[in-house]
Amino acid sequence: MGVEVGDSIISNGQIYLIDRGYDIAFNRLGFVKMKIDGANASGVKITWANLDGSGLSSMVITKEPDYNFGFATLNNGGAMVDVEPLKTDWDIVFTQYVYIYRTVDYPYYPYLVTGALHNRSGVETAADSSGTEYETIAIADTSDLDFVTRYDVIGYDWKFYDFNTALYAIKPNKNFVVRSRNNRYFKLRFTDFYKEGIKGNIVFEFQEL
């Protein structure tokens, strides 16, 4: 089923400027302008083009109820791509993502970080920075923890940059407890951010409570 303007949601016609970032070889992909034409239960129709108007293309990003999101590439006229597994099949993803820093001087400062995000569908996480030893965390402790659905509770700041060593170090006693979709509890902590000296290789351990 196609999506036409005025189906269920009528677009306000706003134009978005998208920085497509880099490809895997770190080549700039450039900018495109995009608008949302309309939406219904089947998906969202978008139209985009290069900034000079060339390469005008349209496609429908289909909605799949078994997945959290639908993903699409704008290359070669656009196509749906498989990125995320079924929302019933995973709990945590380790990835790069953009975190928005908000300070007085920089109210909106996007920055690329490396960290962990939990599944938005049915997974909750509690962060414990109280100094509790990882080894002593037990199922009885979960009643005192604040489990939240926000997907970046684990996030990136379980590590910090040590200017003395010019390396990232793991924050001590920064523990997490994850409640999975089927109500099982797992404690988790990070132990390293390097493998064979290569940054970004996340090392962690977990145990079911």
Confidence class of residue 9 from pLDDT cuts 50, 70 and 90?
A: low
pLDDT at 5: 46
Mean pLDDT across the chain, nearest whole number?
A: 89
Using left for φ > 0, alpha for ψ between -120 and 50, and beta otherwise, residue 26 falls in left
The pTM of the whole model exceeds 0.85: no
pLDDT in tens, 92-132: 999 988 888 888 887 888 888 999 999 999 999 999 877 78
pLDDT higher than threshold 50 for residue 1: no
Question: What sign does the dihedral 123-129-133-138 (CA atoms) show?
Answer: negative
As a whole number of angstroms, the distance between CA 2 and CA 9 comes to: 13
pLDDT at 7: 53
Instruction: Give residues with Cβ within 8 angstroms of 23, minimum separation 6.
Output: 29
pLDDT higher than threshold 70 for residue 28: yes
Q: How far is CA 151 from CA 37, 81, 97, 122, 186, in A?
A: 29, 22, 12, 10, 16
Whether residue 8 contacts residue 36, with contact meaning beta carbons closer than 8 Å, is answered with no
